[in-house]
Amino acid sequence: MKHFCRSLPTRPGPRLLRLTSESSSKSTILHAARPSPVFTVPHHHRPFTMSADVLAPQEVVYSTNSDRPPMPSDVATGEHTAQKTDAYLDTKLLAPGYGADQVLEKCRKRAHEAGIPEIAVSPQQGQLLSILAKSVGASKILEIGTLWGYSTVFLARSLPKHGQIDTLEIDPLHAKISNQTFIDADLYPFPKIHIGKAVDTLKGLSPPGEAEGLKDAGYDFVFIDADKGNIPEYFQQALRLSRKGALIFIDNAIRGGRITSEYRSNTHEDANIAGLRKFYDWAEKDNGKTVLLSGTQTVGAKHWDGFVLATKL
């Protein structure tokens, strides 16, 4: 594990979208071998997608993430669709400095041109992260899975000036582009990117404030948004590193309902599902002793998915 430095090598990336999931180029190979659905939506349904200005004007290639679940047909047909509803909510609810920040659209475009996949949270979800971080009065935040730093910006902008944000990323290119995002977004506190396998990085971290003997040592908010196969370990580490009352957010925890099926084979998505199911099994055994949990299904820009929220008791 090492911290980000400016001299990291760059990697040539295709101008359009590359097949990958929530992990490094290793999974690119795995995914390329699988049949991968490509979702296309009319341009006006996705006003915030970065690819709008570099792809054909009529349509936007929606996703590089072959794991992305389909939209359930009962919310994706007819005049009223979840996509259109997200676009409507975006026009009504996105705020300056948050989801409506044009600097972030410039950063999104740069990430796209560097070949980074479009798997960041949506602007609405970014604002949800801000709301949650502000609501728990977070001053110390841990993020697992940086990508190009989009969600990190929402989290960092929710912190007080004396705050701290650590973000963990395996891919040096993602870290490099994220650092540029943080500079352009003029973030203060400035996020610290830890490059390496998140499991290894986490083992080397201590609860912030512990060394100083602070009573409320530990992160106030943990956002888990990397590979799902390691979710059980990420969650246990999040518990170790966070204070009592902290909020832990696990993104993409529903996966089109696929979490309800048994692990089937050795594909990347099955590893995601297996990791999530192991976490849910742990939650069942914990039975409300260590954490209080809630799973929420969502539809919209990120299709049918959802998140789990936990508070440490």
Ligand X SMILES: C[S@@+](CC[C@H](N)C(=O)[O-])C[C@H]1O[C@@H](n2cnc3c(N)ncnc32)[C@H](O)[C@@H]1O
Which residues are at the interface with ligand X (CB under 6 A)?
22-24, 119-121, 145-147, 150-151, 168-171, 174, 197-198, 225-227, 230
Q: Which two tokens stand for residue 125?
A: 């979800």
Q: Give the nearer residue to ligand X in terms of CB position, either 234 or 280.
A: 234
Q: Give the nearer residue to ligand X in terms of CB position, either 180 or 290.
A: 180
Q: Give the nearer residue to ligand X in terms of CB position, either 149 or 208.
A: 149
Q: Which two tokens stand for residue 193?
A: 């990117």
- Establish how many alpha carbons lie within 13 A of residue 215's alpha carbon, considering only the half-sphere containing its beta carbon: 0
Strands (E), the chain: 2-3, 40-42, 59-61, 140-144, 164-169, 192-195, 219-224, 242-251, 291-298, 305-312
Burial of 236 (0-12, 13-18, 19+ CB in 10 A): middle
Q: Give the nearer residue to ligand X in terms of CB position, either 120 or 271.
A: 120
CA dist 265 → 125, 209, 271, 272, 313 (Å) = 31, 43, 8, 11, 36
Give the nearest distance from C-beta 258 to ligand X in angstroms: 17
Give the nearest distance from C-beta 176 to ligand X in angstroms: 12
Strand pairing report for 291-298 and 305-312: antiparallel
Give the nearest distance from C-beta 198 to ligand X in angstroms: 3
Bond from prior residue into 70 cis (ω within 30 degrees of 0): no
Q: For the chain, what's the residue count?
A: 313
| Beta bridge pairs of residue 42 | 59
Tokens 């891919």 -> residue: 171
Q: Give the nearer residue to ligand X in terms of CB position, either 60 or 104.
A: 104
Q: Give the nearer residue to ligand X in terms of CB position, either 163 or 209.
A: 163
Q: Give the nearer residue to ligand X in terms of CB position, either 80 or 259.
A: 259
Give the nearest distance from C-beta 144 to ligand X in angstroms: 7
Alpha-carbon span 285 to 100, nearest angstrom: 42
